[in-house]
Structure 1
Amino acid sequence: MRIRRFAAAAATVAVGALVLSGCAAPQSEIVEGSSLSVAWNQPFYSYNDLTSFGNATANANITYSTNSRFNFYDDTPKLIQDTSFGTYEKVSDDPLVVKYTIADGVKWSDGTAVDAADLLLNWVSLSGAENTPDFDSTQFTNPDTGEFTPDFPTDVVFFDSGADPTTGPGLVSKLPEVSDDKKSITMTWDAPFVDWELSFTTAGLPAHVVAQQALGIEDPQEAKDALVAAITDNDAASMAKIANFWNTGFNFTEMPSDTSLVVSNGPYTITNFVADQYITLTANENYVGDHKPQVAEITVRFITDPLAAVQALQNGEVQVISPQATADVSDALAALDVTVVGGYEGTYEHIDLQFDQSKSGHFNNPLIREAFMKVIPRQEIVDKLIVPIQADAVTRDSQVFLPGAEGYDDSAKANGSADYADVDIAGATALLAEAGVTNPEVCMLFSSTNPRRANEFLLIQQSGALAGFNVTDCSSPDWGGLLGTPSAYDASLFGWQSTSLGVTNGPPPTFNSKGINNLNFYSNPDMDKLTDQLGKEFDLDKQIEIQKKIDKLLWEDFYGVTIFQFPAVTAFDQTKIANIAPSTLSPTIFWNVWEWSPVSE
């Protein structure tokens, strides 16, 4: 086993640290006939990872590989602009005005040009500027799948992007200006936003495909023109159809018969997809950017069991794996002649408690939420499941700060997490008595195919029983799509993966009442004010102070608990593939997929 280690995330990820570079990757040539297989632990299920349903790493890995962006993070991590796809220019600071321009010759994989129509669709979907006011989509969510129900109203405009008019792209409420050559849009922000550079990074979904499907128009250019007209004129009837298709039309779990649903503008395009088995990416013949790939075909195999992934690597069925780290995985990899990259990921394990939409209804009561937090054996989980892999592993004691980052230590001391350092059965029992409940049921959602989470659940179940909690197994292979589903569960056990270094990467989308990652229906007006304030604060010291207040308020509200920072493990067969360099940020191993290089025999 060849071992390489990358620095712990805390050493490389500084809050709000953005480093720009104009560098482009060197041009490469596709090695004809080359192929590679990589294992991932969850099946792909949506080509739109911008919705609350599709927002998952398993989807983002694929959409990242198949689509280009104005900027991306490397493994340092540094923010790099891809000018071969397009450019952005800050025209004005007050008001904040930004112009986005698609580069010459950029096309979708079906040959249709990428242009302002795509950017305009991306704006209207991410901003929610034309959404029907006060519409509540939660009553039209299937509790078994997390998808919208067939009776979703057809007369409302609702893009399921978590748009909030007080933060992010939601601050662009005015219709952007489209250039005469239809390659640029200029967006004027209602207020300053510190992470504007990270808020609009792709062309989004193909406008011509969305309009063709939603409006029944065959010709791609006519479809784009109709979509632009619908947005420009705020045509509610057409926009309702467009939004509905944008929300649901790209959800599929096998290769769609209509291949227009998989058009891409990046290095790869989806060419095959077998449910629960694999998805195949093939080099995009119409790609003209700087990130031309070297591997002709990549197959992402869905292997949910970490040890099965190691076995597949040993057998040569896959050449790259990045499974969830366990002691058994580490031992199994030690016996193989492969390169292993370890360290810490930008992902942390946590438990969120449902608020007014909990399945049992118990967690509407803060006393019961507090009682349950007291029985979660955070330290035992770390000692038994993580320390055998990472000897220096400790509990993560902040909902906001990355361990090692500036502000973490001070916040952890003052945020109230110390009250949950040890299990307190007596305290939990007293709180349940005060609440007037006995043996409350807690339905816990987690991945049914994840052995480490199954072990965590058992430890939580055993500890909870000592205080009278009946913690039940509500695990599912489709857990990701169920996270934002009303009344589907009481508590969820999963990991959040950081996608950027932006100061607003976590708190606003996760803890704001309107945030796309607010999956447990948490709502506190004070929190909304703090998250809104954070996005408009450019002073680093003041950002940290706001984050400390956010962190403390979450523990005071009995939001849930953090448990540990993920230990990382990526393994690959160095005799078959080169240039594997995992990043702490999503999409981890896939960030430089175009640089992956087959090794000659």
Structure 2
Amino acid sequence: MWEWSTFPQTVPRNQGEIMTKSRVLRGAIAALAATGLVTGAIMAPAKAATRTTVVIVESNAFTSLNPSQADSNLVINSDIAYLTSMGFNYYNDKFQLVRNTKFGTYKIVSQSPFKVEWHINPGRVWSDGTPITAHDLLINQMTASSAYSKAAGLGDPANTDVTPAFNSLGYTGLYDTQVTNVSITPDRLGVVITYKSVNPDYELIGPSVFPVHTLVALAAGEKKLGTPSHNVALKNKFLTAYTTKDTATLKKYGKIWSESYLMTSVDAKTNPLLLVGNGAYQVDSAVKDQRVTLVLNPRYNSGEPTSGITKIVMNTITDGPAGIQALANGEVDVWAGQATADGKAALSKIAGVTVKGYATLSYEHTDVRMGDGPGEKDNYTGIFAPGTTAASQAKAKDLRTAYFLAFPREEIVEKVWKPIGEASAPWDSLNYPPSSPNYAKIIAANGTAMYREGTQASRTADALALVKKYYPTTSAANPTVKLKILWGQPSNTRRISEAAIIKAGLAKAGFDADLTPTTNWSAFISQNKWDAMFGGYGISAVLQKGLTDTWQSGIGQDMGYSNDKVDAAVLALSGAKLSDEKVYANYLTVEKEVYGDAATMNITMWPGVSAAVNTLQNFKPSPLTPEVLWNFWEWKF
């Protein structure tokens, strides 16, 4: 049976339909998660297992236990982190931010300056029995504060040529721009954070929770779990290094944080210090490219109690229809992927399974390279490289504009997306969804009209004319202007279809596009060897700044884009609460600049499709990442 929820006209923020850069890459997991069992990965059928195990289809392979590391921003990595860690709040399926009072509390303690105290409940422990304390709330200072990173000699995150000691995605975000001071409470169970101003999103600018004693132990070469008393001593070593800004020691911790959690398998040889968490589950094992098995954390007391599920298996299946067949066979309990039309039809025929259709805040898009990727040692010299002269910059912009004019977005939506969700349509705003009252207004003013005017054939003709200004011998019959487009996975049925449409459409404008798929493609977005990319993002939070900081300069700008007006607008949106009119004005500034620079094109917002066996109770996906997992503690058979 099918159950559909509707996309909300507004979400609970002052501007309603606001989204954020707090996103994880969905393109890398956009392989039809309706995918088949990997050879050698056949498991005991879910239907034959005890009813305390849930087996979930994953379309992408696990690569890291630290999704905040710059190359690890994948949904599967974030899903595992969601199951193995707990913090101060989470989103439910109604876009409501829920406080996790089982873990701790937070409250405003001063309006001027604006201060919030974040406090851990006494008795909360890590999975190794170590008390969770204020020490464990300081990691953001190293992974999200450019000011601290520079002051401690850990590197300037704004310098995209040199990777900071903590190779993190957190820099340039709200924590970076808004937090001015962090102090520990006298009982050492909390921190008081001082912000630049009263911030409407302060609940999402709190401390991350990380077992810092494990960083110290790993840096010292320890290979087994320590006693709580030993680990408390390690925490104090961390605090000393933090407060004194001991560069050499902190760099050791940064190397561990940045490199040691990158892994594709977990077994008896894995250092158990890497597996310490405070979530309901712990990673028990991982077989490369096949599955990750999580079991209950017996010391878990940082969140809502689970309801009877003792084991969760994330089963990687990367072949189209086989994932759906595995669900039909009773080999898996949950299918949470991005269906094709055939997949949707197949799901609806499976007896004993509920298929849920819902609007998501994930979206498909294509970006072009505008400059060097952060941390890359070479320079981008492809066809979209702006160069240093007015002539070279005009040429690069003309070619980028031609790329977007010729990009066959409508055909992709009609052939790939509408068969999955009938409401699918091209999306022409960087911030407002089509359901927003502001959508029509902003797309009339943001510079996207050229991508809607006329027909695709007329737009492609305009694109070919632009290309022939610089490459007069190229033609639709003989496209010679080479460009390389990044995408993945190779087994992703839906992306394969998109790639074929894109190649044919760009060829009509004289582009000879290399669309060879790349496994784990998201790890390569910053590399200068590609001229463009297409993929998807999943949104995990709802903030005043929307998605504007996707285009902010700095270490998080994988495509090398930089624009002072955009940066100023993002900064304004990151501060105090603004009126609806001012939010719209800043959104418009960002969109006019980004579209005016010919940097991106959104394709469409994803229709969500997931399925679960009828016997799994409380399965109710959310539009926000992590979608199906958001309430895992309520699951039971």
User: Is contact 2:143-2:170 (8 Å) kept?
Assistant: no
Please say if 1:79 is aligned against 2:89.
no
- Structure 2 counterpart of 1:207: 212
Shift of 1:349: 0.4
Shift of 1:222: 2.3
Which of 289, 304, 308 aligns to 1:291? It is 304
Aligned equivalents of 2:86 and 2:15: distance in 1? 23
User: Is contact 2:138-2:207 (8 Å) kept?
Assistant: no
Shift of 1:172: 5.4
Shift of 1:348: 0.7
Q: Deviations over 1:417-458 (max 9, x none)?
A: 221134322211222233457532221111122111111111
Shift of 1:76: 1.0
Aligned equivalents of 1:280 and 1:523: distance in 2? 42
Corresponding residue SS for 1:129: helix
Unaligned stretches of 5+ residues in structure 1: 20-30, 141-151
- Structure 1 counterpart of 2:487: 446
Q: Give 2:216's aligned amino acid.
A: A
Corresponding residue SS for 2:321: helix
Corresponding residue SS for 1:350: strand
Which of 452, 461, 466 aligns to 1:431? It is 466
CA distance change for structure 1 residues 135 and 534 in 2, over 3 Å: closer, same or farther?
closer
Aligned equivalents of 1:190 and 1:14: distance in 2? 20
Q: Give 1:319's aligned amino acid.
A: D
User: Is contact 2:285-2:293 (8 Å) kept?
Assistant: yes
Aligned equivalents of 2:337 and 2:320: distance in 1? 5
Shift of 1:246: 1.4
**Residues 332-347 of structure 1: matches in 2 within 5 Å?**
332-337=346-351, 338-347=353-362
Shift of 1:590: 0.5
Q: Give 1:188's aligned amino acid.
A: T
**Residues 302-321 of structure 1: matches in 2 within 5 Å?**
302-321=316-335
Please say if 1:229 is aligned against 2:228.
no
Shift of 1:259: 1.7
Please say if 1:408 is aligned against 2:439.
yes
- Structure 2 counterpart of 1:147: none
- Structure 2 counterpart of 1:375: 406
User: Is contact 1:265-1:287 (8 Å) kept?
Assistant: yes
Corresponding residue SS for 1:98: strand
Shift of 1:391: 2.3
- Structure 2 counterpart of 1:100: 118
**Residues 456-475 of structure 1: matches in 2 within 5 Å?**
456-475=498-517
User: Is contact 1:351-1:494 (8 Å) kept?
Assistant: yes
Which of 115, 122, 136 aligns to 1:118? It is 136
CA distance change for structure 1 residues 528 and 435 in 2, over 3 Å: closer, same or farther?
farther
User: Is contact 2:408-2:502 (8 Å) kept?
Assistant: yes
Shift of 1:180: 2.2
**Residues 171-210 of structure 1: matches in 2 within 5 Å?**
171=177, 174-200=180-206, 202-203=208-209, 205-210=210-215
Q: Give 1:232's aligned amino acid.
A: T
CA distance change for structure 1 residues 366 and 47 in 2, over 3 Å: closer, same or farther?
same
- Structure 1 counterpart of 2:383: 362
Q: Give 1:559's aligned amino acid.
A: A
CA distance change for structure 1 residues 124 and 158 in 2, over 3 Å: closer, same or farther?
closer
- Structure 2 counterpart of 1:131: 149
Aligned equivalents of 1:40 and 1:414: distance in 2? 40
User: Is contact 2:407-2:505 (8 Å) kept?
Assistant: yes
Query: Aligned pairs, how many?
Result: 565
Shift of 1:175: 4.7
Q: Give 1:299's aligned amino acid.
A: V
- Structure 2 counterpart of 1:532: 571
Q: Give 1:348's aligned amino acid.
A: Y
Corresponding residue SS for 1:309: helix
Please say if 1:554 is aligned against 2:594.
yes
Corresponding residue SS for 1:489: coil
Q: Give 1:490's aligned amino acid.
A: D
**Residues 456-495 of structure 1: matches in 2 within 5 Å?**
456-483=498-525, 485-495=526-536
CA distance change for structure 1 residues 319 and 409 in 2, over 3 Å: closer, same or farther?
same
- Structure 2 counterpart of 1:24: none
Aligned equivalents of 1:55 and 1:94: distance in 2? 36
User: Is contact 2:160-2:554 (8 Å) kept?
Assistant: no
- Structure 1 counterpart of 2:634: 595
Which of 263, 269, 272 aligns to 2:282? It is 269
Shift of 1:34: 1.4
Shift of 1:373: 0.6
Q: Give 1:160's aligned amino acid.
A: S
CA distance change for structure 1 residues 96 and 32 in 2, over 3 Å: closer, same or farther?
farther
Please say if 1:89 is aligned against 2:97.
no
CA distance change for structure 1 residues 527 and 64 in 2, over 3 Å: closer, same or farther?
same
Aligned equivalents of 1:201 and 1:17: distance in 2? 25
Which of 87, 111, 125 aligns to 1:69? It is 87
CA distance change for structure 1 residues 535 and 93 in 2, over 3 Å: closer, same or farther?
same
- Structure 2 counterpart of 1:503: 544
Please say if 1:240 is aligned against 2:280.
no
Corresponding residue SS for 1:352: strand
Shift of 1:192: 4.2
Shift of 1:261: 0.6
CA distance change for structure 1 residues 10 and 58 in 2, over 3 Å: closer, same or farther?
farther
Unaligned stretches of 5+ residues in structure 2: 19-48, 374-379, 386-395, 475-479
Shift of 1:351: 0.3
Corresponding residue SS for 2:200: coil
TM-score, normalised relative to structure 1: 0.89
Corresponding residue SS for 1:131: helix
User: Is contact 2:326-2:332 (8 Å) kept?
Assistant: yes
User: Is contact 1:349-1:566 (8 Å) kept?
Assistant: yes
CA distance change for structure 1 residues 586 and 224 in 2, over 3 Å: closer, same or farther?
same
Shift of 1:159: 4.3
User: Is contact 2:280-2:303 (8 Å) kept?
Assistant: no
CA distance change for structure 1 residues 134 and 36 in 2, over 3 Å: closer, same or farther?
closer
Q: Give 1:428's aligned amino acid.
A: A
Aligned equivalents of 1:451 and 1:553: distance in 2? 34
Identity %, equivalent residues: 29
TM-score, normalised relative to structure 2: 0.84
Q: Give 1:357's aligned amino acid.
A: D
> Which one is further off, 77-86 or 466-475?
466-475
RMSD: 2.3
- Structure 1 counterpart of 2:584: 544
**Residues 150-189 of structure 1: matches in 2 within 5 Å?**
157-164=165-172, 168-171=174-177, 174-189=180-195
Shift of 1:135: 5.8
User: Is contact 1:39-1:321 (8 Å) kept?
Assistant: yes
Shift of 1:195: 1.8
Q: Deviations over 1:204-242 (max 9, x none)?
A: x31011121124577322221111111111111111111
Corresponding residue SS for 2:541: coil
- Structure 2 counterpart of 1:148: none
Corresponding residue SS for 1:392: coil
User: Is contact 1:157-1:236 (8 Å) kept?
Assistant: no
Shift of 1:13: 6.9
CA distance change for structure 1 residues 355 and 194 in 2, over 3 Å: closer, same or farther?
same
Corresponding residue SS for 1:176: strand
User: Is contact 1:306-1:323 (8 Å) kept?
Assistant: no
CA distance change for structure 1 residues 234 and 16 in 2, over 3 Å: closer, same or farther?
farther
Q: Give 1:520's aligned amino acid.
A: M
- Structure 2 counterpart of 1:582: 621
- Structure 1 counterpart of 2:295: 282
CA distance change for structure 1 residues 261 and 9 in 2, over 3 Å: closer, same or farther?
farther
Aligned equivalents of 1:303 and 1:589: distance in 2? 17
Q: Give 2:125's aligned amino acid.
A: K
- Structure 2 counterpart of 1:27: none
